Amino acid sequence: MSIPRVLAALLVTSASSATAPALAQADSQPYSVEVWATVLFGTDGKPLEHALVDESKYPPKFAENVRARVAKAKIQPPEQEGKPTTLRTGVRLDFVVTPTSEGGQVRIAGLSMGALPLKRYYASYPKDIAQTGGWEGEVEGVCTIGIDGKCRLIDIKSLPGMPESVRRYAKASLEGWVFAPQEVGGKPIEGEFTLRLKLNTLDSAPEDFRQDKFQRLINSKQ
| Domain residue extents for the chain | 5-115, 118-200
Q: Which fold has domain 118-200?
A: TolA/TonB C-terminal domain (3.30.2420)
Residues 6+ apart with CB under 8 A from 72: 12, 13
Q: What whole-number distance in Å separates Cα of residue 102 and Cα of residue 185?
A: 47
Digitized pLDDT (tens) for each residue of the chain, 222 residues in all: 444 333 333 333 222 233 333 333 345 788 889 999 999 999 999 999 999 999 999 989 999 999 999 999 999 999 999 999 999 999 999 999 888 777 678 888 999 999 999 999 999 999 999 888 888 999 999 999 999 999 999 999 999 999 999 999 999 999 999 999 999 999 999 999 999 999 888 744 444 444 454 454 444 444
- Can you give the C-alpha Rg of the chain in angstroms? 19
In contact, 62 and 18? CB cutoff 8 Å:
yes
pLDDT at res. 27: 59
- What local confidence, expressed as pLDDT, does residue 201 receive? 82
What pLDDT score does 45 carry?
Answer: 97
Between the alpha carbon of residue 91 and those of residues 20, 66, 87, 145, 210, the distances in Å are 21, 11, 11, 16, 16
